[in-house]
Amino acid sequence: MNFGGVDRMKTQATRSGYPEQYYPNTEELKKDEMRVVALGTGRPFLRRSQANASWLVELGNGDKFVFDFGFGSQMNFTALEIPYSEVNAWFATHLHTDHVGDFGQVWVGSWTGGRLKPLEVYGPSGLEPKFGFRHFCEKQMESYAWDTNSRVGALPAVGAEVNIHEFDYSKTQVVYEDAGVKIISFPAVHQVDGPVSFRLEWNGLTFVYSGDTTPSQFFIDNAKEADVVVHETFNTVEQLMDRSGYDERTARAIGTYIHSAPEEASVVLKEIDPRLAVVFHFFNDFDTTPEIRERIRRHYQGPLAMATDFMVINVTKEHIVTRMAEVSEHVWPNKSKHAGFGEAKRKPMPQMSDWLKEAQLFPKQDSPRGLIYKGD
């Protein structure tokens, strides 16, 4: 049986008192509970049904973390109606655009959406400084210079601030630790040096996210017996040739050398033996997913979810429940969480040239109330 990409006969998941669907802002997490939401599960080729890679982890202590922020993922994040100020930190596994392409929205979009604290972003170094996360962020921010300068004064100054935390990609190490939450980075084997995977530990629960990786001992060692393991797998070589039109050489390079083939991911998942295995990074279609599932089942027979966008996983020590979120396509920033936005400190607003001001049909002037019509 299949529901929302979940093999429910294998997960043995029951509703355990949860509604069939998850509706944002209708369920408060228990103090010992974790909620994982798939914000993006697709391939680098962006399509409406699946955004690029991104995963949200919410904890019962109020903490929230996002792992990867590929193109399109932030539309799914905002659909959950979570204020950006409530996100503790954002983590990048590597610098492929399908994992960090929404950086501009994470930074500027969250600023315009009410974030009232500096943005905290974490990512790996590279073999050279220019291949590292700090270089990526700083160059991205430089490229948005006109955009951000034009918003100064209209928006709280603190929203423009970004704290970049770059760490050594080659080490297994704690990169974040606060309020009982520990996030560990460890190397991923993905085409060239630089990529990492993450392990989050909190309250006796563990979430492990591969990012992009081919099967590796690093992952097995760091994901053993975790509660929820999200591991990438690509469409099969045959599907890449048939549906994407790749020649065999290209399909094998993408599907087995750069990414994990389903039958290879199967071996890793069998070795790890998680409470729930989640596979993502493939196009989850009715005519492709059954073959991917069958190949994973060649070795791994445990609880399995075939990820798609807006899959929701609630985790406690007693149960794991998988279902889908029902969201609106017409969300606004969450006004109930914007207390203090108007009082936050601002810098002077930049001015346009006089010759542009002279062309204004309705000229404005600054006042304690903000910009008003001249003469009011």
pLDDT category at 17 given cuts 50, 70, 90 is confident
Question: Which of 123-132, 233-242, 347-356 shows the lowest per-residue confidence on average (mean pLDDT)?
Answer: 347-356
**335-369 residues labelled b (16+ CB within 10 A) or e (exposed):** eebeeebeeeeeeeeeeeeeeeeeeeeeeeeeeee
Tokens 């591969």 sit on residue = 210
Q: What is the pLDDT of residue 7?
A: 53
**112-133 residues labelled b (16+ CB within 10 A) or e (exposed):** ebbbbbebbbbbbbbeeeebbb
Distance between CA atoms of residues 180 and 287, nearest Å? 43
Q: Judge whether residue 325 has pLDDT over 50.
A: yes
Domains of the chain: 2-373 (3.60.15.10)
pTM, whole model, 2 decimals? 0.93
Q: What is the pLDDT of residue 348?
A: 86
Q: What is the mean pLDDT of residues 202-228?
A: 97
Question: What is the residue-averaged pLDDT of the chain?
Answer: 92
Nearest CA-CA partner of 134 in 182, 173, 100 = 100
Q: What is the pLDDT of residue 290?
A: 97
Contacts 24+ apart (CB under 8 A), 134-137: 134/164, 134/166, 136/95, 136/100, 136/103, 137/103, 137/162, 137/164
Q: What is the pLDDT of residue 3?
A: 38
pLDDT category at 234 given cuts 50, 70, 90 is very high
Q: Give the tens place of pLDDT for each residue, 30-50.
A: 999 999 999 999 999 999 999
Q: What is the pLDDT of residue 366?
A: 74
pLDDT category at 375 given cuts 50, 70, 90 is low
Q: Give the tens place of pLDDT for each residue, 246-297.
A: 999 999 999 999 999 999 999 999 999 999 999 999 999 999 999 999 999 9
